[in-house]
Amino acid sequence: MDVVSTKLLSPAKINLMLRIVGQRTDGYHLLQTCFQLLDWGDEMTFTPMPDKSKNQLEIKGFEGVNVQDNLIYQAAQMLKPWAQSQSAWLVEVDKQIPLGAGLGGGSSNAATALKFFNKAWQCDLSIFDLLALAAKLGADVPVFILGHSALGVGIGDVLTPMKFDTPYILLLFPGCHINTAELFKASGLTRDQVSINPANMQQSTFWINDFMPLVLQQFPQVYSIYEQLKSKMNLRLSGSGSTLFAVFDELEDAQKAYNTASEFCDVRLVQPQLSSIF
């Protein structure tokens, strides 16, 4: 019997807006954020390994990363108690999403693995079960399980599906890695931002990111690109990473901005992911 592989897009996201509105006693920060899923990301290939026994897993695409620390491995381990079938798989990840970029690469990989192995191992977990497991893996994982752009509150895991008017999105990659945990610890981080009415989420004037002042201050690569291009396009920061982005209504304007920004850094022009809720 021929071995058939399954290729899936593990999409990136941007945070159109990110406000830190408080902090819990356990240290987790309370957020209000707008997740926009993109039609671009990592490619994950799942290939069965019939010569292996039980639900074993091999993961490729992460050099120097201990397999136990990989979110794909952790996601699969979570599902094993519900597995009704046994099959071993090779998971190969063609990484396109930079690490530490604020685009949710690891979280998206974990969510894609959860959804795939839920079917492959006949776990029969509902979308609500998967969302609960996803939240244990990380605050950004649930939105990729949902598979729809959304307003996120709580630690970012309480989601309300929304659609945002972002026809063309230009991503700018400064080429540096930002450690989210370290940024959250920064003394200069605003932690008492006022929440805004969800009805105003569609208005880009409300799209601020509380991490942006810190990132511009602490990372010269990001600051340099921002300073050189801010007069040519309305630049924003995604999440707690290094990626800057700009939103355009017209393809012609987006392409002009692409040509301009490509002289300063790596860039990619993407669109929102077309998706249904379930």
Q: What is the dihedral of CA 131, 63, 80, 26, to 10 degrees?
A: -50
My answer on whether 150 and 211 are in the same domain is no
> Cβ(213)–Cβ(187) under 8 Å?
no
State residue 164's pLDDT score.
94
Helix (H, G, I), strand (E, B) or coil at 52: coil
The last residue of one of the domains, among 161, 196, 214, is 161
Residue 128 falls inside a structural domain: yes
Query: Which H or E run includes 57?
Result: strand 57-60
My answer on whether 13 and 81 are in the same domain is yes
CA distance 144 to 115: 10
Among candidate residues 13, 42, 115, 157, the one labeled active-site is: 13
Residue 103 falls inside a structural domain: yes
My answer on whether 173 and 114 are in the same domain is no
CATH code of the domain containing 33? 3.30.230.10
Question: Is the per-residue pLDDT at 45 higher than 60?
Answer: yes
Number of domains in the chain: 2
Q: Which domain does 224 fall in, by range?
A: 168-270
Residue with tokens 């894609």: 112
Among candidate residues 42, 140, 157, 210, the one labeled active-site is: 140
State residue 38's pLDDT score.
98
Residue 278 falls inside a structural domain: no
> Cβ(178)–Cβ(48) under 8 Å?
no
My answer on whether 24 and 138 are in the same domain is yes
CATH code of the domain containing 254? 3.30.70.890
My answer on whether 99 and 188 are in the same domain is no
Residue 45 falls inside a structural domain: yes
Residue 276 falls inside a structural domain: no
CA distance 169 to 92: 27
140 is catalytic: yes
- Predicted confidence (pLDDT) per residue in 74-116, tens digit: 999 999 999 999 999 999 999 999 999 999 999 999 999 999 9
Residue 100 falls inside a structural domain: yes
My answer on whether 99 and 124 are in the same domain is yes
- Could you tell me the pLDDT band of residue 1, with boundaries at 50, 70 and 90? low
- Predicted confidence (pLDDT) per residue in 143-177, tens digit: 999 999 999 999 888 999 999 999 999 999 999 99
Residue with tokens 């839920």: 118
> Cβ(55)–Cβ(76) under 8 Å?
yes
My answer on whether 17 and 88 are in the same domain is yes
Residue 1 falls inside a structural domain: no
Task: Report residue 169 as tokens.
Answer: 């999105």
State residue 3's pLDDT score.
83
My answer on whether 18 and 124 are in the same domain is yes
Q: Which residue has the higher pLDDT, 122 or 3?
A: 122
- Could you tell me the pLDDT band of residue 277, with boundaries at 50, 70 and 90? very low
Q: Which residue has the higher pLDDT, 140 or 185?
A: 140
232 is catalytic: no
